[in-house]
A and B are shown apart, each in its own frame.
Chain A
Amino acid sequence: AIQMTQSPSSLSASVGDRVTITCRASQDIRNDLGWYQQKPGKAPQLLIYAASSLQSGVPSRFSGSGSGTDFTLTISSLQPEDFATYYCLQDYNYPLTFGQGTKVEIK
């Protein structure tokens, strides 16, 4: 199975900050990667698919980039509602595998 490694595991940031989360795949996965946001007690929500395509209804401050093995989720200006845990998910092949998550906390 393809291993997905996210970094950092957690970060502290302030409202208005630019935040970057990285996901690295154990092999080339082209652009077959999605990003999800999960708030406590809630189901994850899709933010980005195919590495850089913004899901309908998701604010434009979220963006994704990368291909091959290295990917990035960027939040251009962190908002109060963005404090959550973020996961990457590869769908290059089965089994689908998630990164371990990055918790974004308030500084």
Chain B
Amino acid sequence: QVQLQESGPGLVKPSETLSLTCTVSGYSIISGYYWGWIRQPPGKGLEWIGSLSHSGTTYYNPSLNSRITISVDTSKNQFSLKLTSVTAADTAVYYCARADALTAGKIDYWGQGTLVTVSS
């Protein structure tokens, strides 16, 4: 059974960097699929942040492009999100997820989500 689990600080100060890690169990990241991040501000809709292919190619949302880095640690079967220069607008539940390599919108496994609040 594939499982994804987000981890990282729940509180980040404005202008600092948000860092989250997704630990994948039940499937090897390097075996295939795309691995990505989606967020949801409290009470609002879903926003795709970016994805990473099993070969290391990244796709980022241009609205966040200059602030995002998604990377992978194959030795730990984890992938990570870094979002720099955060503001209150980055307060959201952050989900990590697995998507089909050929059908990028076929996101079949999700983490439970982790709330990150940006506040001083």
Contact = CB atoms under 8 A, between A and B. Distances in A.
Majority SS of interface residues in chain B? loop
A89 B110 contact: no
B98 to A, nearest CB: 10
A46 B107 CA distance: 6
A49 B108 CA distance: 10
Contacts, number: 68
B40 to A, nearest CB: 9
A103 to B, nearest CB: 11
A83 B63 CA distance: 32
A contact residues, range: 20 to 34
B61 interface: yes
A70 to B, nearest CB: 17
A66 interface: no
Given A43-B112, A43-B113, A32 B105 contact: yes
Max count, chain A CB within 10 A of own CB: residue among B60, B107, B113? B107
Given A43-B112, A95-B62, A34 B105 contact: yes
B15 to A, nearest CB: 25
Contact of A33 (B48, B61, B105, B111): B105
B11 interface: no
B111 A96 contact: no
Contacts of A43: 95, 97, 110-113
Contacts of A90: 105
Interface in B88-114: 95, 97, 100, 103-108, 110-113
A3 to B, nearest CB: 13
Interface in A50-107: 50, 55, 87, 89-91, 94-101
A37 to B, nearest CB: 12
Given A43-B95, A43-B111, A43-B112, A50 B45 contact: no
A1 B103 CA distance: 18
Interface of B: 45-48, 51, 59-63, 95, 97, 100, 103-108, 110-113
